[in-house]
Amino acid sequence: MSILRDKNILLGITAGIAAYKSTFLVRLLIKAGANVKVVMTPASKEFVTPLTLSTLSKNPVFSSFVDEDDDNAVWNNHVDLALWADLFIIAPATANTLAKMTNGVCDNILLATYLSAKCPVYFAPAMDLDMYKHESTKTSFEKLTSYGNKMIPAATGELASGLVGEGRMAEPEEIVSFIEKDVLGQLSFHGKKILITAGPTYEAIDPVRFIGNHSSGKMGFEIAKAAANLGAEVILVTGPTHQTITHNLISVKPVVSADDMYNEVHKHFHSTDIAILSAAVADYRPKNVADQKIKKKDATFSIELEKTKDILKSLGEIKENQFLVGFALETNNELEHAKAKLKSKNLDLIVLNSLQDKGAGFGVSTNKVTFITSSNNSIENPLKSKAEVAKDLMQQILKQLNA
């Protein structure tokens, strides 16, 4: 999954022959999972039609402050457009528009939207060779980048005039790749590898039955998503669950038993920067597993259990520079038990939640947690969605790493 998934992207199109490429750019952004809206200069409609762009983006296209065909004269609010956008891409960006952007000229809806934008702005120049090399154009490039805008370099190739040289707009694939790399490079956990466990484990009694628990895996999957959205490479080791996830930075490793999870976690731990163990691993398993289904004969039936390997403790014993996070689900003396677990397992952070708290625990979309740090600080959080808890957890980890 692209890092652009679910991003609101505003595409600005100006009046250059390269505007025909904007149709392909819209398609690629949609394919990446982004929400796309298009704003055009009036003259750009001579090169590509609003109808085409509207059909591809599945959104209205804006080229004037008031819809020309609207008898009610509804105002197209450039401020709302600018605030909606997570990213603003101007491609193609002509010399004329770049000069106006540089000097604050505001004579169309695209430029008004640009001046109202609070999000990152990218521009992909497209013009003839002599225009591209002109000192005034170079000044536009320098000033616009000094304002914080990001230039997507033009390519060298055959131009509309027949000349060969710089000025050709980057190809749509190159534009998307440039932005993806730039967004990733700014994310807090870019370059970090994070190991996460999720879900329950199933401990076999016989080929049909098992000992398990009510964990759905939702919390672990949300943590994986939050980590990947911050640029981390994620290894998600998950027990049996109905949860699914698709993200190009997340590698899912399905397991069944506590022993399976132990082995998979240890396979990846040494190359990991951060490990977050949120799985509800069985503490005990049947000592003897029947080869055949056990028949129902007696009124009572006993199973001898033995302890499973303590995955979290085993990592605490061998960790070097890894940041290790554990979870504690308690029903009584919550804070006391969580602090004891934090210390005995050599953790940097433990996430405590209680089954006594309404809306927390297994099988629900919310959680109420307390973060307890290795310095014994407790940070209590209100009831939130598990997605929000996951984001809070990543910020807490970042805070401790940067302390």
Torsion, Cα of 36, 39, 45, 50 (10° steps): 40
What amino acid is encoded at 33 in this protein? G
- Round to whole Å and give the CA distance between 200 and 26: 41
Give yes or no for a cis peptide into 92 (omega within 30° of 0).
Answer: yes
Give me the helix-helix angle, 95-103 and 109-116, nearest 10°.
Answer: 50
DSSP per residue over 29-95, as a string? Answer: HHHTT-EEEEEE-GGGGGTS-HHHHHHHHTS-EE-SSB-TT-TT--B--HHHHHHH-SEEEEEEE-H
3-class SS at 103? Answer: helix
> Could you list the active site residues?
213
Instruction: List, in order, residues 6 or more apart from 205 with CB less than 8 Å away.
Output: 211, 286, 289, 290, 294, 303
Structure tokens at 49: 């039609």
CA dihedral over 167, 26, 49, 98, signed as positive or negative: negative
Burial group, residue 288, by CB count within 10 angstroms (0-12, 13-18, 19+): exposed
- Roughly how many angstroms between the first and final C-alpha of the chain, as a whole number? 32
Q: Which residues are paired to 380 by β-bridges?
A: 370
3-class SS at 373? Answer: strand
DSSP per residue over 315-338, as a string? Answer: HHHH-SS-EEEEEEEESSSHHHHH
> What value, to the nearest 5°, has the Cα angle with vertex 8 and ends 84 and 399?
90
Q: Which segments within 267-347 are labelled E, that is strand?
A: 274-277, 284-286, 305-307, 323-330
Burial 178-195 (b: 16+ CB within 10 A, else e): bbeeebeeebbbbebbbb
Strand 155-158 versus strand 233-238 pairing type: unpaired
